[in-house]
Amino acid sequence: SIQRPRSEQLYAEALEHIVGGVNSPSRSFKAVGGGAPVFMKRAQGAHFWDVDDHRYIDYLCAYGPIITGHAHPHITEAITCAAANGTLYGTPTEFEILLARMLKEAIPSMDKVRFVNSGTEAVMTTIRVARAYTKRSKIIKFAGCYHGHSDLVLVAAGSGPSTLGIPDSAGVPGSIASEVITVPFNDLDGLRVALETFGNDVAAVMVEPIVGNFGMVMPKPGFLEGLCKMAREAGALVIYDEVISAFRFHYGSAQTYSAFSDHAAIEPDLTALGKIIGGGLPIGAYGGRKQVMDQVAPLGPAYQAGTMAGNPASISAGIACLEVLREPGVYERMDAQAARLADALQASADKNGIPLTINRIRGSFSAHFCDHPVTNYDEAQDTDGERFGQFFRLMLDQGICLAPSKYEAWFLTTAHTDEDIDATIAAAENAFAAM
């Protein structure tokens, strides 16, 4: 296999100074057999170069935010310009209004928006706002959906923790976990029972409307409609975590995606955003119905603040990213390339007798090593992680960079070329044959 002496050396050094050698556990190679993760030094378009000068085609895409490829010139220019004018003011700026308007236009359920610094913060605050508005405390969430690392949502929390085999985090008090009720995704009967049992105490039902955290998983027909209806009948709010799904499949979010026929029936009260809307810089945002958002300080009693929030660099990068994405044909092209790649992976796995279930939603897909459908977290867990680890390393050694987790999606960008797809298909054919 390929040698990466410089990555090995840097990993040893990093372990001395940074816990686990990584600044997010999902970056470690623990779930794919351990050892040094690859240290990258440069990224351009769909490509990465590691510190040993190997080139990779990137499908990790920083776990979602990088949808226009790395160092897209339009975004780089926006960041450079923002930096030259000062990176942080602690005052409002005009740009924040522009990005807020762009988000509202694309996601009409948001009357008002507030910018924060991460998806975690966005989700955490939607819960506070829902609790303030309903004056109730409990949250219903779905098993395997990951909503960031705040206390309440680190219960049955999906990809990161589940990859490491930690269902809950240490340091989350039982009293907090007892405020969270977990139901299987796509299970309206389970939700009905949870609401019948705890309905009067439930502040919100929180969901990834299209799941990105145990593979890409679509809600079954009627699931979101039923969820919204039942939540409202119980007096609870509906929160959509669209940190992954917004601007991922089309210029808009899951709640406005054409796969759903009745958009009015699936509108949430609050939406959490992150990732793509910052164009690769740190960002989060949340928004929703006016009466609900007006709970937030300085208008209302629910407190949320941020020194870094709405910083000009992140906001400018976000605007530039959305400007690229709203060009005609952008999503169609990613869709077509992902279809070609996913079909070829499936054909090659079939040919080699390797069970593979691909869930593709336009330019993103997950490839599960199993012979059954993946529609909920149990089914995603019941896939062959060892086989994934083997595939992951065979691909890495041929210059294809995937996320080191069997749950994580492959993300296409506007920068992936037909040649990149061809090279990836060839590498996968070799990998499946070697397995």
Q: Which stretches of the chain bind ligand PMP, using CB under 6 A?
A: 63, 118-120, 123, 146-148, 208, 212-213, 241, 243-244, 274, 284
Between 123 and 313, whose beta carbon lies closer to ligand PMP? 123
Check 241, 269, 335, 420 and give the catalytic one. 241
Check 30, 138, 141, 275 and give the catalytic one. 275
To ligand PMP, the closest distance from the beta carbon of 148 in angstroms equals 3
To ligand PMP, the closest distance from the beta carbon of 14 in angstroms equals 20
Between 58 and 241, whose beta carbon lies closer to ligand PMP? 241
To ligand PMP, the closest distance from the beta carbon of 270 in angstroms equals 13
To ligand PMP, the closest distance from the beta carbon of 251 in angstroms equals 19
Check 59, 133, 146, 257 and give the catalytic one. 146
Q: Which residue is nearest to ligand PMP (CB)?
A: 119
275 in catalytic set: yes
229 in catalytic set: no
Between 199 and 212, whose beta carbon lies closer to ligand PMP? 212
Between 207 and 356, whose beta carbon lies closer to ligand PMP? 207
Between 106 and 154, whose beta carbon lies closer to ligand PMP? 154
Three-state SS letters, the chain: CCCCHHHHHHHHHHHHHCHHHCCCHHHCCHHHCCCCCCCEEEEEECEEEECCCCEEEECCHHHCCCCCCECCHHHHHHHHHHHHCCCCCCCCCHHHHHHHHHHHHHCCCCCEEEEECCHHHHHHHHHHHHHHHHCCCEEEEECCCCCCCCHHHCECCCHHHHHCCCCECCCCCHHHHCCEEEECCCCHHHHHHHHHHHHHHEEEEEECCCECCCCCECCCCCHHHHHHHHHHHCCCEEEEECCCCCCCCCCCCHHHCCCCCCHHHHCCCEEEEEHHHHCCCCCEEEEECHHHHCCECCCCCECCCCCCCCCHHHHHHHHHHHHHHCCCCHHHHHHHHHHHHHHHHHHHHHHCCCCCEEEEECCEEEEECCCCCCCCHHHHHCCCHHHHHHHHHHHHCCCEECCCCCCCCEECCCCCCHHHHHHHHHHHHHHHHHC
To ligand PMP, the closest distance from the beta carbon of 123 in angstroms equals 5
241 in catalytic set: yes
Residues noted as catalytic: 146, 241, 275
